[in-house]
Amino acid sequence: MPAERVNVIVDLVPDACRQCAHRLHARDDVGDPRRHQVTELPPIEAYVTEYRCHRRQCPACGTTTQAPLPHELAGQFGPQLTALIAYLTVVCRLPRLVVQRLLEGALQIPMSLGSTQHAWEEASAAVAAPYQELQHALPQQRVLNGDETGHRTNGAKRWLWTLVAPTFIFYTIATSRGADVLRGLLGATFAGILGSDRLPTYLTYAAGLRQFCWSHFRRNLLSAQDLATTASAQRFCREALTLQRQLFRLWYRFRGDPHARGAPLTRAQLIAKVLPIEKQFFALAERYVNAADDDVSNLARALFVHHPHFFTFVHEEGVEPTNNVAERALRTAVQWRKIMFGNRSTTGELAVARLLTVTRTCQVHQIHVLAYLTAAIRCHRRRPVVASLLPKRLTP
């Protein structure tokens, strides 16, 4: 760690030569000392403050007045402990029972499961304003990547959605997997570029430009190749996979990948080199659009009908050829779901969406998540404005 992060420095000085036992003095110092750091925790125990609200009686009218508690001390847990419970649950993905045992065992804080739930819900309420602000910013984004996965609330089917912008990650839980969710979040038409897989939901939603995921398409090709029963079907898959590899070799060169073979490419060079590959893809799709093999026919038709949507990344800045950024964002939520087994109420759904959104966005901007949650809870109790997570007013 850097020197300014060190709490205590202990100088260990040799007083005799290890060879001949000759006495050594400060004038015999040579070079800089070898630095060896040991990181340790201080004694872990809860810091308990007792507030005694005294009462006084007015000598004039006889009214008894009791001193009020400050707003941030309304509950039994301070802002930092409340934030820690939310942090352990959402970021560390610990079940509430494990959080309860950790606090009781390590900090000797007696706590019920209901108390951990209450702290979690308060953290959700504390980040409601920045969550809503990010939701309102979604329609103004130039590029968004979307994905969704199954969820449960009291056993009922739900869908957990994520929309990833260049500067934040947004989550919501909905009862539908349809385009109505996108219309509710982005408006009737999204003016930017929407990256996704080829789920009909995204096909029926009106977007300015689209980018379909090449990773999904490659997986479809490999599956079709494994199931192919004719030489024609296998030939289509081989040719498509070869073209896809050529396309991505050019993309890696443009991106400046250190392992890419060949000199880096400019945007203009990328467009010029991809154009022949794009034409070959279109010709390949046209030849196989009525293939006897259903898997091959479906893939060829997707290439033929939605051809421009596979190559938006070649022409537009900030667009990736895959939807991996949304899939990675969704993986965090899936891990949480598998541990927590879903929700029990709409309040729980909202809390999951808010806390996932805020904590993942903090990580995008390398903001200390626990410090942000603590500040948000403190602000929530005092009623001032919580710090924004949008870049224009980003506060670490």
- Is the torsion defined by CA of 51, 52, 57, 58 positive or negative? negative
Contact 352, 121 (CB under 8 A): no
For the chain, the domains span 128-210+324-393, 214-315
> Which tokens in the block code for residue 70?
């400050």
What angle do the packed helices 214-227 and 231-255 form, to 10 degrees? 160
What pLDDT score does 336 carry?
A: 80
- Residue at 106: amino acid letter: A
CA distance 85 to 99: 7
User: What pLDDT is stored for residue 128 in this prediction?
Assistant: 95
Radius of gyration of the chain (CA): 29
Look up residue 163 and give its DSSP letter.
E
**The CATH number of domain 128-210+324-393 is 1.10.10:** no
In angstroms, rounded to a whole number, what is the distance separating the alpha carbons of residues 123 and 109? 19
Which strand (E) or helix (H) includes residue 370? helix 369-382
The DSSP element (H or E) to which 194 belongs, if any, is strand 189-196
Position 371, amino acid: A
From the first residue on, what is the mean pLDDT of each consecutive set of 10 residues in the chain (396 residues)? 91 91 88 91 84 93 92 82 93 88 88 87 94 96 95 89 96 94 96 95 92 96 93 95 96 91 93 96 95 94 94 96 95 83 82 94 94 93 85 51
CA pair distance 367, 92, nearest whole angstrom: 16
DSSP conformation letters of 275-322: HHHHHHHHHHHHHHTT-SSHHHHHHHHHHHHTGGGGSHHHHSTT--SS
As a whole number of angstroms, the distance between CA 188 and CA 254 comes to: 34
Q: 322: closest CA among 393, 217, 233?
A: 217
Specify burial of residue 191 (Cβ count, 10 A radius: 0-12, 13-18, 19+): middle
The pLDDT assigned to 69 comes to: 87
Residue 161 to residue 205: CA distance in whole angstroms? 15
Report the distance separating Cα 126 and Cα 156, nearest Å. Answer: 27
* CB-CB neighbours of 277 under 10 Å: 17
Asked if residues 181 and 361 have their Cβ atoms less than 8 Å apart, the reply is no
Q: What is the pLDDT of residue 41?
A: 83
The gap from C-alpha 197 to its chain's centroid, in whole angstroms, comes to 19
CB atoms within 10 A of CB 160: 25
Q: In residues, how long is the chain?
A: 396
How many whole angstroms separate alpha carbon 354 and alpha carbon 393?
A: 19
CB 218 within 8 A of CB 241: yes
Check residue 392 and give its pLDDT: 64
Of 276, 340, 282, give the one whose Cα is nearest residue 99.
Answer: 340
What pLDDT is recorded for position 113? 85
189 membership: H or E segment, kind and range:
strand 189-196
Those residues with Cβ within 8 angstroms of residue 163's Cβ, 6 or more apart along the chain or in another chain: 138, 144, 145, 146, 169, 170, 185, 186, 326
Report which of 123, 120, 101 is spatially closest to residue 111, judged by C-alpha positions. 101
**Chain centre distance of CA 110:** 32
**Three-state SS string across 14-27, please?**
CCECCCCCCECCHH
